[in-house]
Structure 1
Amino acid sequence: MPSKINDEWVWQSSQINTLLEKAAVKLGELNSFARLVPNIDLFIRLHVTKEAVVSSRIEGTQTNMYEAVLPERDILPEHRNDWREVQNYIAAMNQAVYELAALPLSSRLLKKTHAILLNNVRGEHKLPGEFRTSQNWIGGHSLADATFIPPHHRYVEELMGDLENFLHNPDIQVPALIRIAIAHYQFETIHPFLDGNGRIGRLLITLFLVSEGILEKPLLYLSSYFEKNKGLYYDNLMVVRNKSDMLQWLKYFLVGIEQTATLAARTLSRILELKASIERDLQTQFGRRGVSAQILLNALFQEPVIVSIEEVQKICGLSYKAANDLVAAMCQHGILQETTGQSRNRVFVFSAYMAVFED
C-alpha cells in the first residue's frame, strides 16, 4: 500500500537541483526547437509511431518501425496482433492529446485512453477503460511467487484520486518535472488497470508535459530510455517501494528527461537537414516534376510508406502515368526505395527518413 503523494515534497540533495536544472534546460531547448521547425506537425506522426513501437516492445510485442507504418493487409498474419497493439497505442496517444484541449489530465481521460489501447487486442477482456476490480501482480505465476503485488483493488479509486489531486494541486510548491516523476512512480505502483499499466504510465509523462505547456507538441517519450536497461528501470521503482528512497528514482528520471530531450532535438535537427538536402535536389534535378515532388515529399514526412500509385495520384492530383513516373524518378534519386522486389503490389519507403528514427 503506497503512501499518498498529494503533499509538499522537500529534499536535501543538491544533486537533485542540478539534475532538475539540466533537464529543464534541455526541455526548453526542445520546445524552442519545435517552434522554429516549419510545419512541425509533419514530423509528429513518426515520433508517435516510434514511441508506440518501443513502449509496446517493453510489453513483449515484436512489431518494428517499418511494419508499424504499413497497412494491415501488408502485415504477415502471425504479426497482426502485435501490429494492432502498436496501432492502438498510436490512436490512444493521438486521441489523448486531442482530448487535453477539453479534459484535464485525469482518471477519466486515462480510462478513455485505456479503452482505445485495449480495443480488440489481447487485453480486450481485461476491463478496457475501467480500473481493476480484482487483485493483480507483476512477475511470477501467482501471488505466491510474484515480484511485486500492487495494492488491493478497493484502494485503487482512492489512490488514483490522490494522484490526480497531486498533479493539479496549486497549493504545493513542487516543480513540474519532480511532480510527474513522482506521479509516474505512483501510477506504476498502484497499477490501476488489469493490463496496459506500463504503456498508460509512460503515456502519462508526455500528456502531463503537454497539458502543463512545458511542451507544445508531444515530442518527448521516455520509453526508449526505460527500455535501454529495463532492469535498471524496475530496480529504481523497487528501491522506492522497498526502502522509501524517492531520491534515487528522481535522479534516474531527471537524467532520462535530459538525455531524451537532447536526442529528440537532435532527431529534429537531422530531419531538417534531410528535408533541406532533398528539396535542393528537387529544385535542381526534377524540372517540371519539382512542384509535384515537393507535394509528395511533404506527404511522405507524415506517411513515409506508399502502397499504391493511386495514392500518389490523389496526393498530387496527377494522372496514373504521371504519378508512376514521379515515383520512378524519386526511386532513381534515392528518395524512395521499393522494398518488395515485385512488379505488382509494390511498397515504396522513404527509407532515409525512417532511418532517422531507427537509430
Structure 2
Amino acid sequence: MIRLEDFVSGHFEAAYRYRYFVPSKINQEWIWSSPSLNRQLEKAAIKLGELNSYARLVPSIDLFIQLHVAKEAVISSRIEGTQTRIDEALLPLESIDRERRDDWQEVNNYILALNQAIFEMESLPLSSRLLRNTHARLMQGVRGEQKQPGEFRQSQNWIGGNSLANAVFITPSHVLLPELMSDLEQFLHNDEIFVPDLIRIAIAHYQFETIHPFLDGNGRIGRLLITLFLVNTGILDRPLLYLSMYFEKNRGLYYDKLSAVRTSNDMHRWISYFLEGIAETAALGVTSLKVVLSLKERLENQIEREFGRRNLVGKKLLYGLFKVPTITVEKAMQITGLSFKAANDLVLLFKETGVLIEQTGQTRNRVFVFEEYLKAFEH
C-alpha cells in the first residue's frame, strides 16, 4: 500500500559518467487523506459523465469524432514541434506545400495511430503490445522512423539537453524496461486494488513519461494512453476527451508538475493538476458539442428554406462536411453521387450562402473549407 503523502518517487543509480533515475513501482493500493483531492476527483468524474451523456444524446456523434481526433493530433504534434494547422491536417497531401509535408505526415500518422488503437482494443487489452503497435504506426515514414518504431528502446535516452552530459533528466536504463512496463501494465488492469480510474491514469501517465520506453514519440504515446484508458475502462464510450490542449496552453507548468514528482516526491500536486485538466477539458468538450449541434440545426434549416429541389443532396453534402470539413469538387462528387457540373454548382451554392470558403484563390484545384465548423474546435 502506498500512502500518497509518503510516496517516494524513486532513486538514482550510477552508470558510466552519469546517473539515471529508477522510478518506484506503482502497482499497489494508493490511499490519501486530502479532502481537496476527493473534491477534484468528484468534479472531474461528474464533468466526464456529462460529456459522455451528452455525446450519447447526439444521434450523429460520429460526425464529430474525426475532427476531435484531428484537433488532438494537431495540438499533440505541436507540442513536439510541428506547425500544421487543423485545416491543413484535413487536406490531401498533394495540397500541402512541400516544405510542410513532413509536419502534415506526422499529424496524419497520429490520427491513423489513434484510430488503429481504438480498433485494436476491441480484441487486445490496453497493453505494452498495443502501445508498441500504436507507436509503429505513429512513426511510420516520418522523422524518428529510424528509432526502432514499434519497439521499446534498447539503449539509454534522456530528456532535455544535447547529450547525457547536460541532460535535464536521464530516464531509467533500458535493461529495466521490461520490469517497469510490466508493473505499469499490471497497475492499469489490477482489479484487486481500489484506485479510482482517474487517479490510476494520472499516476500511469506520469510513470509512462518517466520510463520513456521509446527512443522517440513518448510524449504523443503518453498522451494517447490517457484517451485509450478512458475508452478502455468504459468511462467514455468514444474518444472525445484529449488533454493535449490543456498541457500545451502552459507547457512549462506541465513539465514542472511531472518533474516535481521525481525531484520532490510531489505526486499529490501532479494528480491535482491532472484532475483539473480532466474537468476543464470535459466541460470544453460539452461546449463544443453544443456549438456544433446548433450549427448543424441552423444549416439544415437554411438548406430546407433556400435550396429548393437540391434540399436532399444539399444535406448529404453538409453531413459529409461534418466528417471532412475541407473539400474539393471531386470529393463533393463522391459524397453526393452528382456529376462534376452538378457537384460544382452545389459547392458554389454553399460558397454563396457562406457555408464554404474557397481557400486557394485559384481557378483550378480549388479547396473549400467549412470554416465555421472548424472554429467550434479552436478553443
> Which residue number in structure 1 is paired with residue 68 of structure 2?
47
Q: 2:268 aligns with which of 228, 247, 268?
A: 247
Q: Distance in 2 between matches of 1:206 and 1:256?
A: 13
Q: Per-residue deviation at 1:128?
A: 0.2
Q: Distance in 2 between matches of 1:53 and 1:112?
A: 21
Q: Distance in 1 between matches of 2:234 and 2:118?
A: 12
Root-mean-square deviation over aligned CA pairs: 0.7
Q: Per-residue deviation at 1:35?
A: 0.1
Identify the range of structure 1 (110-119 vs 37-46) with the bigger mean alpha-carbon deviation: 37-46
> Which residue number in structure 2 is paired with residue 299 of structure 1?
320
1:64 counterpart letter in structure 2: R
- Percent identical: 63
Q: Distance in 2 between matches of 1:321 and 1:77?
A: 30
> Which residue number in structure 2 is paired with residue 322 of structure 1?
342
Q: Distance in 1 between matches of 2:191 and 2:337?
A: 52
Q: Across the two proteins, how many residue pairs are aligned to each other? A: 358
Q: Per-residue deviation at 1:248?
A: 0.5
SS at match of 2:207: helix
Q: Distance in 2 between matches of 1:204 and 1:56?
A: 15
> Which residue number in structure 1 is paired with residue 5 of structure 2?
none
Q: Per-residue deviation at 1:319?
A: 2.0
Q: Per-residue deviation at 1:314?
A: 2.2
Deviations 1:118-160 (A, max 9, x none): 0010010000000000000000111111111110000011100
Q: Per-residue deviation at 1:74?
A: 0.7
Deviations 1:254-297 (A, max 9, x none): 00000000001100010000000101100100100110000000
Q: Per-residue deviation at 1:323?
A: 1.1
Q: 1:312 aligns with which of 332, 357, 360?
A: 332
Q: Distance in 1 between matches of 2:50 and 2:234?
A: 14
Q: Distance in 1 between matches of 2:289 and 2:152?
A: 37
Identify the range of structure 1 (330-339 vs 24-33) with the bigger mean alpha-carbon deviation: 330-339
Q: Does 1:149 align with 2:170?
A: yes
Q: Distance in 2 between matches of 1:313 and 1:227?
A: 38
> Which residue number in structure 2 is paired with residue 34 of structure 1?
55
More helix by share: 1
1:129 counterpart letter in structure 2: G
1:344 counterpart letter in structure 2: R
Q: Distance in 2 between matches of 1:121 and 1:320?
A: 35
Q: Per-residue deviation at 1:346?
A: 0.6
More strand by share: 2
Q: Does 1:344 align with 2:338?
A: no
> Which residue number in structure 2 is paired with residue 357 of structure 1?
377
Q: Per-residue deviation at 1:350?
A: 0.6
SS at match of 2:376: helix
> Which residue number in structure 1 is paired with residue 127 of structure 2?
106
Q: 2:282 aligns with which of 258, 261, 264?
A: 261
> Which residue number in structure 1 is paired with residue 197 of structure 2?
176
Q: Does 1:66 align with 2:90?
A: no
> Which residue number in structure 1 is paired with residue 23 of structure 2?
2
Q: Does 1:199 align with 2:226?
A: no
Q: 1:284 aligns with which of 291, 302, 305?
A: 305
1:141 counterpart letter in structure 2: N
Q: Distance in 2 between matches of 1:242 and 1:183?
A: 18
2:372 counterpart letter in structure 1: A
Q: Per-residue deviation at 1:325?
A: 1.2
> Which residue number in structure 1 is paired with residue 9 of structure 2?
none
Q: Distance in 1 between matches of 2:331 and 2:106?
A: 25
> Which residue number in structure 2 is paired with residue 230 of structure 1?
251
SS at match of 2:377: helix
Q: Distance in 1 between matches of 2:311 and 2:221?
A: 43
> Which residue number in structure 1 is paired with residue 354 of structure 2?
334
Structure 2: segments with no counterpart, 5+ residues? 1-21
Q: 1:270 aligns with which of 283, 291, 294?
A: 291
Q: Per-residue deviation at 1:42?
A: 0.9
Q: Per-residue deviation at 1:311?
A: 2.0
Deviations 1:317-347 (A, max 9, x none): 2122211111111111001111111111111
Q: Distance in 2 between matches of 1:314 and 1:74?
A: 18
Q: Distance in 1 between matches of 2:216 and 2:333?
A: 42
Q: Per-residue deviation at 1:213?
A: 0.3
SS at match of 1:357: coil
